Amino acid sequence: MRATLGVLLGLATVGLAACGDEGSSGTKAPATVSGAGCAPIAGDKLVLLTDDKQLQLADNVIAAVNTKVADPELIAALDKVSDALTPEKLIQLNKAVVVDRKTSKVAAEDFAKAENLTAGIAKGKGGPIKIGAADFAENATLGALYEIVLDAAGYDATVQTIGKREIYYGQLTKGDIQVVPEYAATITEHINGLTNGKDAKVLASGDVDKTVTALKDIGGKAGLSFSKASKANDQNAFAVTTAFAEKNGVKTLSDFAAKCSGKDTVLGGPAECPQRPFCQVGLEKTYNLQVGKFASLDAGGPLSLDALKKGTVTLALVFSSDGSLG
């Protein structure tokens, strides 16, 4: 499961499902919706609208490291990956794998060469380092990047696919694996839930710096250290077609809400979206956006992307690092 799907569904393990009021069913325009809104515009290219009011939690890519092996040279090598990753470059890495059909290893090698990723890496203590990667393409590619930089730092790094967080987190804290590509908000709340219970106060936020500070505090107590957080993230986002954005002059969700709140606007997303604080409810509360209709599709998958391109929805929930956006 992608890291952000848990955020979309409300991070039920830490009690976020109860945040906010339920939304409308989305099958018809609610009586309270006023304004003309914005009808969908078809197009082959999609663009993300900037979440300028930080509705979504900051799921920036970050390396989690067992503290016993977290010497400065190892962390510095992992920081090289974080420094190189921007949102656009993570999308292109994912495109290389899921669209262009390269292996994660080849995509990582090409990226490392293009970015001169191994230049200036200092040698560390050496020895074997096992990198655990979750079972989806992006995480495997990140693991392959970590392997490249750690090998350059003099370690004997290998990547092992280990499945879900519920499985690999215990292996990481025990030291059976030493490094995992993670996502700041999701790993913060995973540790928070384990430490403080399912009803714990949420520590992550839309502010990446505050989220990482909370993560280092609670993660440090669990025996973990962390690299820098990259600018790249894999989290819930909202997209429109490029044709729509250009015609209507929208770049942010605030732009969209100001111009497109009304009956002609169609929001697409998973069936749970009208009841979820990071989907329709969040758009209503954070951006004061009212939509005329809701189309039940999927969680950032091909149905949502296709609906945007065909012009059957105006705005749809997607994943911010989806290779199809490249």
Mean pLDDT across the stretch 9-31? 36
DSSP class of residue 16?
G
- Is residue 254 located within the same domain as residue 321? yes
The residue segments making up the domain with residue 92 are 60-233
HEC per residue, 77-146: HHHHHHHHCCHHHHHHHHHHHHCCCCCHHHHHHHHHHHCCCCCCCCCCCCEEEEEEECCCHHHHHHHHHH
* Minimum mean pLDDT range among 16-20, 80-84, 213-217, 314-318: 16-20
- Is residue 82 located within the same domain as residue 223? yes
pLDDT score, position 5: 43
- Is residue 171 located within the same domain as residue 151? yes
- Is residue 225 located within the same domain as residue 142? yes
* Number of structural domains the chain divides into: 2
Return the bridge partners of 237, or none: 318
pLDDT score, position 34: 75
* Minimum mean pLDDT range among 26-30, 70-74, 156-160, 238-242: 26-30
200-255 per-position pLDDT tens digit: 999 999 999 999 999 999 999 999 999 999 999 999 999 999 999 999 999 999 99
Q: What is the pTM of this model?
A: 0.88
What CATH number is associated with residue 175?
3.10.105.10
- Is residue 209 located within the same domain as residue 261? no
103-145 per-position pLDDT tens digit: 999 999 999 999 999 999 999 999 999 999 999 999 999 999 9
- Is residue 99 located within the same domain as residue 194? yes
Cα–Cα distance for residue pair 159/141, rounded to 1 Å: 10
Could you tell me the strand order of the sheet in which 291-296 lies?
Answer: 46-49, 236-241, 315-319, 262-269, 291-296
Instruction: Report the percent of the chain where pLDDT is more than 70.
Output: 90
Closest CA to 317 of 60, 43, 55, 139: 55
The rounded radius of gyration (Å) of the Cα atoms in the chain is: 20
Could you tell me the strand order of the sheet in which 224-233 lies?
Answer: 155-161, 127-133, 179-183, 60-66, 224-233
